[in-house]
Structure 1
Amino acid sequence: MSKYNTNDPEAVEIRKKIEKLISLNPDIEIYDIISIEEVKRFEAENDIKLPNDYVWFITNVGNGGKWYGGEYQFYPLEKTYFSYEGLPDYKTGREKYSIDILSTGCSYSKGIILRGEHYGEISSDGDGLAFYHPISLHGFKEFYLKWLEEACLGYNNLFFDSRLYGTIEEHLEQYISNPDLELLWSIFYKVNKQCATKQFISDLYTVFVSETDNDNKVMLARILIKSGYEDTFSVLSTIFSPQNYETIVWELHSSICYFKKWLYAEGVMEDAPKYYDMLVEIMKYYETAKERKHFDHCLNMTIMNPKFNENDILGILTSDDEEIVKHLANSVFQNNILNRVGKYIDAAKIKYEKMNENKG
């Protein structure tokens, strides 16, 4: 275990919680604390003043850490970086807006605001462009302790994106009394199959059935799926309409039908065939609507589905539409899948070459 201030009772208590979390997730690490002199030197070199609660944490509890093999990080002070208000042009002399301390994946991070009325609060950031989002109104320490408590409960928040205080059960009870989409988002970010009890899932389904607002019903559907509700087909059938197709495609692609590594489907789950007709209908809708992003996902999932029948989409497989031809020509499938559509892909490659020749 890394070094920390064993003479500070609060630091000792926090480290006990961190050790509990590490026992549940062995790939989590926390780094040694640093001295106050190192902090002051960093502040002087960068012409900034760090908030007191953050300074206390890195000099008493731990100066950063990592999890998921380093994919997500709580940066040690010496490896933090700054974001600037407006475009991230480091040559313009703009003031440092925030210091980015947490990597949360997909080029996003969390930072501490260093100036203005929101000094000391937590901001969201993407690609060096800082923007204020009220994640924690009372600073880093509150933000971290909230995350730590929820992580120890087994909540799915190791990427620091939980929104509101409280348990998923409390949020659902609050939602029943006062329907607020923000409560559902908070449940969505926290929940997983491990922490969702049978009673919670039962109560959640009751709320889902009675909900009349479409946006809220869609979010309840996503939470049910994430919680491990068994009859996902009936859930998606309930919200099946063009305005919800994007959500349905995402859920099918990411959690129901296909084993997924990042954004790419790598295998088919045993329940996939029951969603085949749903996929074909959505795909044909997106073909007509010229929504190529979602169309491409649907086409790939349809071809990978064990229930696939080339006659169902023959018009698409033999299409002369340039975008469809390009997609088929550049498609990469495993051999067992390629056997189903190989002749169409070969034909698309020839068509695409001719299209490019004609352009030349």
Structure 2
Amino acid sequence: MWFRKNETQLDRIKNKLSQAMHKDADFSVFGASSHQYRVKEKLTAKELADWQAHNQVTLPEPYALFLTNVGNGGAGPYYGIYSIEKATSYTERQALLAKSVLHPGMTKEEWNHLTEPLTSDEDIPDEEYDDARNRVLGGMLCIGTQGCEYDMYLVLEGKYRGRIVYTSDFHPDHPFFFVYEDSFLDWYERWLDEIILDYDIGWFGSRMPGDENALIQIYQSASNEEIQAKALDGMFKFKEVSQITLDFLKSIVEQSSKNRATAVRLICKTSFDTGRKYILELLQSDEYEDFLQGLMILHASSKTANLTEFIPVILQRLDRIDDPETLRYAGYILEIYGAITLQNFAPFLCHADLKMQTTAIYAARSCENKLESWQIIEKMLKSGDPQVMKSSILYWGVIPHEKMLPYYKAVWPEYRTNPNFIEKFIGCLRELHLPDDYFDNEES
């Protein structure tokens, strides 16, 4: 009975592979050009049995059925599914035969304790590092890559046998991610469904599955805010939403719930004009985090929407910014509209915090007529921090003003042999009608 059920699913998958190929004929989905929705020749039952006997592993049945009934790798999420031979070559035998220790609810503390040998000691011997790594990846088979440091694993044993795990490097506080589906075939079929439905699947599998109605119901019946947040996050895969969903999102915003900013982002993704008044509310909110969220939404929309009406609101609230991230996003938006001046950014350029200073210097890189504000620049450079000087030279060049000369002379030895900067220094001197060797002259 179990096989008959999956036989039907296997038939669906074969049909949906053809539909997906037709839907994404130009291979615009991430990774599709590498596999072009084609699978490799299927494994025979004997080849599968031989592999399992040789490796002393029994594969989860849904994955084994895929290999013998659909294909031995090929088309699949991201860059596709590895053949069983390639999967084996990318999996350490010690890890393949080990116990699986990961689980979906793993806390940051559990993860940090597990990966501590991999993150805390740069001089750890290779053998010890490999042993620690294999403990983390134990009981799993590497079945594909998402690119860079991201891979996809199949759990081979234990309570979560058959689940797919997305991995990355061993970063503190970031446990590996278990996808929502319980089996390989369910995960694989969802991938095909989302292509056919023309969803945005750039990070396929990391968001909660379900159509608009299903996610609304999950949100409304959720027992905690974490599930609500995941239900909303799942909606980012929709390129457009219905009026019913739009009204649902508006109701969340108007309730001023913890998920208000996420709801505004979703509204703006579908209809920026509808979301304008909500962005203004975020920017004018007494909650500092709302202001940051509003800036982030504007930044995400900056290439397609006119943001002119928001510029005065941002400028009015500049004096409330007290962290580099918020300053960075404010800078992105203000720069587009030429609204950054050294005068309005002076508090940040002369800030006691180095990160605030360097963020402000980068944000003000396009400001014209810096010479007119030489007093601000001199005050900024008086901090004496080398990084401030380096950032100003990198992003602003060498400002040709006599008051700046002592500061440039002090760092000249560091730049005099660098061809990328020497012309900037010489250009400054020539604009001031000074000799090219001015900075080398002990009497200057």
Alignment of 1:321-340 (within 5 A): 322-327=354-359, 331=362, 338=366, 340=368
Q: 1:118 aligns with which of 149, 156, 160?
A: 160
Question: Under a length normalisation based on structure 2, what TM-score does the superposition of the two structures give?
Answer: 0.60
| CA 149–186 in structure 1, closer or farther in 2 if over 3 Å, else same | farther
Show CA shifts across 1:119-144 (max 9, x none): 21222322268956553453111222
TM-score calculated relative to the size of structure 1: 0.72
SS of residue in 2 equivalent to 1:74: coil
Q: How far 1:193 moved relative to its partner?
A: 6.1
Stretches of structure 2 that go unaligned for 5 or more consecutive residues are 1-6, 96-100, 102-113, 119-128, 372-376, 378-391, 399-403, 415-444
Note closer, same or farther for the CA distance 1:110–1:161 as it changes in structure 2 (3 Å cut): same
Offset at 1:53? 0.7
> Would the alpha carbon gap of residues 304 and 106 (structure 1) be closer, same or farther in structure 2, given more than 3 Å must change?
farther
1:223 to 244, 266, 272: 266
8 Å CA contact 1:208–1:221 kept in 2: the answer is yes
Quick check: 1:192–1:227 contact (8 Å CA) kept in 2? no
* CA spacing shift, 1:217–1:348, aligned 2, 3 Å: same
Of 18-27 and 157-166, more deviation after overlay is shown by 157-166
The correspondence for 1:275, drawn from 287, 297, 310, is: 310
Q: Equivalent pairs: percent with the same residue?
A: 16
Pairs aligned (count): 328
Alignment of 1:13-52 (within 5 A): 13-26=12-25, 27=27, 28=32, 29-30=36-37, 31-36=39-44, 38-40=47-49, 43=52, 47-52=56-61
Counterpart of 2:130? 90
* Amino acid in structure 2 at the alignment position of 1:64: G
The one-letter code sitting in structure 2 at the alignment partner of 1:185 is K
| 2:258 is equivalent to residue 233 of structure 1 | no
- Work out the CA distance in 2 between the residues paired with 1:14 and 1:82: 27
Match of 1:5 in 2: none
* Contact 1:325–1:349 (8 Å) recurs in 2: no
Corresponding residue SS for 1:312: coil
| 8 Å contact kept, 1:108–1:125 | yes
- Equivalent position amino acid for 1:301 in 2: I
> Which of 188, 199, 206 is matched with 1:144 structurally?
188
The question of whether the paired residues in 1 share the 8 Å contact of 2:81 and 2:143 is answered with yes
8 A contact 2:261–2:282 mirrored in 1:
yes
Coordinate RMSD, CA, aligned = 4.0
CA distance change for structure 1 residues 102 and 273 in 2, over 3 Å: closer, same or farther? Answer: farther
Matches within 5 A, 1:1-12: 10-12=9-11
> Are 2:86 and 1:76 equivalent residues in the alignment?
no
Cα shift at 1:54: 0.9
1:110 alignment partner, SS class: strand
Task: Note the residue ranges of structure 1 that are not aligned, 5 or more in a row.
Answer: 1-7, 260-268
Partner of 2:337: 305
Equivalent in the alignment of 1:204 = 249
CA contact (8 A) 2:327 2:360 kept: no
Residue 55 of structure 1, aligned match among 64, 83, 90: 64
Q: 2:328 touches 2:360 (CA, 8 Å); kept in 1? A: no
Amino acid in the other structure paired with 2:310: Y
Name the CA distance, whole Å, in 2 between partners of 1:298 and 1:354: 33
Matching residue of 1:296: 328
Query: Counterparts of 1:341 and 1:49 in 2: how far apart (Å)?
Result: 71
- Superposed displacement of residue 20, structure 1: 1.6
Cα deviation code 1:300-345 (max 9, x no counterpart): 432233444554324435668644554466x499xxx736376575
Name which one, 1 or 2, has greater alpha-carbon Rg: 2
Alpha-carbon spacing, 1:65–1:184, altered in 2? closer, same or farther (3 Å): same
Question: Partners of 1:168 and 1:97 in 2: how far apart?
Answer: 36
> 1:96-116: per-residue Cα shift (whole Å, max 9, x none)?
332233444673343211232
Structure 1 residue 55, shift from structure 2 partner? 1.7
Look up the SS of the partner of 1:35 in the other structure.
coil
Q: Aligned ranges for residues 150-169 of structure 1 at < 5 Å? A: 150-161=194-205, 163-169=207-213
CA displacement, residues 198-249 of structure 1 (integer Å, 9 cap, x when unaligned)? 343233223432x242x22222222222333423332223334312344333
Q: Which has the higher strand share?
A: 1
